[in-house]
Amino acid sequence: MTENSILLEIRNLKKHFPIYKGIFRSAAGWVKAVDGISLKLKKGEVLGLVGESGCGKTTAGRSILRLLEPTAGEVLFYSHGQAEPINVTTAPPKVIKKLRQDMQIIYQDPQSSLNERMTVGSIVSEPLLVHKIGAPSDREQEAEKLLKAVGLEGDHMARYPHQFSGGQRQRIAIARALCLKPKLIIADEAVSALDVSIQAQVLLLLKELQNEFNLTYIFITHDLAVVRYITNRVAVMYLGRIVESAATEELFNNPQHPYSEALISAVPVPDPDYRVRRILLQGDVPSPIDPPPGCHFHPRCRYAEDICRNETPTYRELSPDRFVSCHLADKLNLWSFSK
Amino acid sequence: MPPVLEIADLKVFFYTDYGVVKAVDGVRFHLNAGETLGLVGESGCGKSVTAMAVLGLVRYPGRIVAGEIIYHQNAKKVRLSGLDPKGREIRSIRGNDIAMIFQEPMTSLNPVFTVGYQIMEAIILHQRLNRRQAREAAISMLAKVGIPLPEQRVDEYPHQLSGGMRQRAMIAMALSCRPSILIADEPTTALDVTIQAQVLELMMNLKAEFQTSIIMITHDLGVIAGIADRVVVMYLGKVVEEAGVREIFYNTKHPYTQGLMNSVPSVRGKIRDLKPIPGVVPDAFALPTGCSFQPRCSQVSKMCRTEAPPLTEVGPNHWVACWLHS
């Protein structure tokens, strides 16, 4: 097993939701929440999936895990010891269930993702029970070990979720996700609901656990500062499509897509002497039911030309390992944020 | 600049069945005319309750137990803390002289009335205009906050607007009576970054135009760095540090403020290691003795465990409540 081998490959993944209308409930339209995204994820990498609300990042995460049935496309998971990848999108339920051991998710809100009526010990060890791993005493031991790994105490096992603070609950959710020794963890806004000091604790914990358990993460978030801190690669989504993906520092220093440029410029910087002009995008994100023709971003783009209004840009490799979906990408001289 | 608002030794306690929660426990700060004051702290530090106390909106089982809130209405001093929260006097100030924007526009706008109606309500109540004039005023406010087609939008319901638009409508409502103080409680937290940038820009422009003083309540140090002139940091119902914005970022004194600064990643500059504050905010029913930050503080000494440090001036207009600095 080489260090840089591919763990996950996403090819043209789509998830469209029908909008039903009328008494016959016929599909009157489609919300193209995820509209053809392609990504490769190496083992041990941390990929950030960023974008504003409604861009499809959460739907993408769930479709990758097949918590949602994708409309089209392929998700290939390279499990260790197997030469051929498993196609997550077509695998039968039995295979999927087995696969869930390798792919886990942490949700945003630890208030609603933990069952209030279960003890912390049984929450954390439940995945083992579901997959029939180990005897009850082994499971208990494992849960205790995991709780310690995420910075909680062994005697927290018998308590209930309401006895914990938000940050501690998120640690419990993390322990549960780690329980089956997964290879891939999708963290969907996992630190967004936490206060800054607690958020920093959980971020550090996730980083430590990554080294310790050799994990690969997909970090879904709207918080660009968090993404810059924890990821190696970033994919920026806008209205169901990836507009740019690149190595994290590359993207933050020299964005190549006008949307990434505006997004990065808009993030407030915790430094009072840092006064740079912001690119203020006009208007809101358009509805994904009826997205603008051509490039989805053109109505808000300050560089838009005729071609942008009529033709959908292809997602192409602009330079090695840097993909951009913009007609004008090699012509534009976008802002650099490296200083 | 003279102060428009002075808060002295404010205490707001909540008398619950489980015990007394000292949500605000001796808060002291002032707001100067034309200034943007950042009020920073994590959930439960009492920043929102302080704002509610100013407007006389503290609800049962909460009560203003002690302290003064003084509003300088032109040359007159009004003691807000002493007014009947349902009385005529506070009602003529609330929404008129002092207005508030809340975090979640969807829950603070009434879903069954049009946006225009809700803006007009405040205008008619406070400004002696008739319906037609009030409607004109509402439309012009909507135009001012950058809502396209205000003549149409004025008759729409909150659910027909996007999140950013709703927050703009809230700002229009808050500023419709040209208040001298605007209290904004996490006004951009629920918004996307590009929309947040629009709304913050709008607030700063309107502040200049209307000469409003702003109290900006937020946990986002980025927002604070961008727009505040002066910053008050709160922890567990107390002010721990107060200083000008550059001073607080570059000459941080209180270990809690330092901890906050070291906890936030940034999109610019070198990637620093995060140094989070250990532990969690203590239970409101079982507050620590001495300095309330002492159980999480890395520089704690004997004194900190027994006695609460007073807010002392350590430099020009720089106040810190910490035994390390007094």
Query: Could you give the CA distance from residue A89 to residue A79 in angstroms, rounded to a whole number?
Result: 15
A-facing residues of B in 30-59 (CB < 8 A) are 42-43
User: Is A268–B225 a contact, with Cβ atoms under 8 angstroms apart?
Assistant: yes
**What's the CATH code of the domain at A257?**
3.40.50.300
Q: Collapse the DSSP code of A42 into the 3-class scheme (helix H, G, I; strand E, B; otherwise coil) and give the result.
A: strand
Tens-level pLDDT at each residue, chain A (339 residues): 444 589 999 999 999 999 888 877 777 888 999 999 999 999 999 999 999 888 999 999 999 999 999 999 999 999 766 778 899 999 999 999 999 999 999 998 888 899 999 999 999 999 999 999 999 999 999 999 999 999 898 889 999 999 988 889 999 999 999 999 999 999 999 998 888 888 999 999 999 999 999 999 999 999 999 999 999 999 999 999 999 999 999 999 999 999 999 999 999 999 998 877 788 888 888 888 888 999 999 999 999 999 999 999 999 999 999 999 999 998 998 988 876
Q: pLDDT for B36-95, tens place per residue? A: 999 999 888 999 999 999 999 999 999 999 999 999 988 899 999 989 988 999 999 999
Distance (Å) from the alpha carbon of B283 to chain A's nearest alpha carbon: 10
CB pairs under 8 A between A and B: 131
Query: Could you give the CA distance from residue B326 to residue B322 in angstroms, rounded to a whole number?
Result: 7
**How confident is the model at residue A81, as a pLDDT?**
64
User: Is A284–B274 a contact, with Cβ atoms under 8 angstroms apart?
Assistant: no
- The answer as to whether A330 is a domain residue is no
Closest by CA to A6, choosing from A46, A52, A51, A40, is A40
Mean pLDDT, all residues of chain B: 92
Which residue from A minimizes the CA distance to B244? A272
- The answer as to whether A238 is a domain residue is yes
Give the mean pLDDT of B12-23: 93
- The answer as to whether A204 is a domain residue is yes
Per the structure, how many domains does chain A have? 1
pLDDT tops 90 at residue B314:
yes
Global ipTM: 0.86
Say whether the peptide bond before residue B61 is cis (omega within 30 degrees of 0): yes
- The answer as to whether A285 is a domain residue is yes
pLDDT tops 90 at residue B252:
yes
Distance (Å) from the alpha carbon of A227 to chain B's nearest alpha carbon: 9
Which amino acid is it at B237? Answer: G
**How confident is the model at residue A3, as a pLDDT?**
47
Residue B305: other Cβ atoms inside 10 A? 13
Q: How far is C-alpha A156 from the chain's CA centre?
A: 30
- Strands B36-40 and B213-218, by their bridges, are parallel
- The answer as to whether A249 is a domain residue is yes
Cα–Cα–Cα angle for A82, A88, A91, rounded to 5 degrees: 85
- The answer as to whether A137 is a domain residue is no
Cα–Cα–Cα angle for B228, B221, A275, rounded to 5 degrees: 60
- Asked if B73 reaches chain A (Cβ–Cβ under 8 Å), the answer is no
B247-254, Cβ contacts within 8 angstroms, sequence gap of 24 or more:
B247/B315, B247/B317, B247/B318, B248/B318, B249/A270, B249/A271, B249/A272, B249/B225, B250/A272, B251/B315, B251/B318, B253/B314, B253/B318, B253/B320, B253/B322, B253/B324, B253/B325, B254/B293, B254/B320, B254/B321, B254/B322, B254/B325
For B172, phi and psi rounded to 5 degrees? -60, -45
Where does the pLDDT of residue B293 fall: very low under 50, low under 70, confident under 90, or very high at 90 and above? Answer: very high
The maximal CA–CA distance of chain A, rounded, in angstroms, is 67
CB-nearest to B260 from A197, A201, A337 is A197
Q: Range of A274's domain?
A: 3-102+182-324
For B202, phi and psi rounded to 5 degrees? -60, -45
Interface of A with B (CB under 8 A): 52-53, 165, 167-168, 195-201, 203-204, 222, 224-226, 228-229, 252, 262-274, 278, 280-281, 283-285, 337
Distance (Å) from the alpha carbon of B127 to chain A's nearest alpha carbon: 32
Q: What percent of chain B has pLDDT over 90?
A: 73
- Asked if B315 reaches chain A (Cβ–Cβ under 8 Å), the answer is no
**How confident is the model at residue B299, as a pLDDT?**
93
- The answer as to whether A71 is a domain residue is yes
- Asked if B192 reaches chain A (Cβ–Cβ under 8 Å), the answer is yes
- The answer as to whether A177 is a domain residue is no
**How confident is the model at residue A4, as a pLDDT?**
59
**How confident is the model at residue A1, as a pLDDT?**
44
Q: pLDDT for B142-180, tens place per residue? A: 998 888 899 999 999 999 988 888 988 999 999 999 999
Query: Could you give the CA distance from residue A333 to residue A261 in angstroms, rounded to a whole number?
Result: 11
Strand ranges of the sheet holding A6-21, from the earlier edge strand across to the other edge: A26-42, A6-21, A72-77, A86-87
**How confident is the model at residue B171, as a pLDDT?**
92
Which residue from B minimizes the CA distance to A259? B194
Token digits for B324?
């390390």
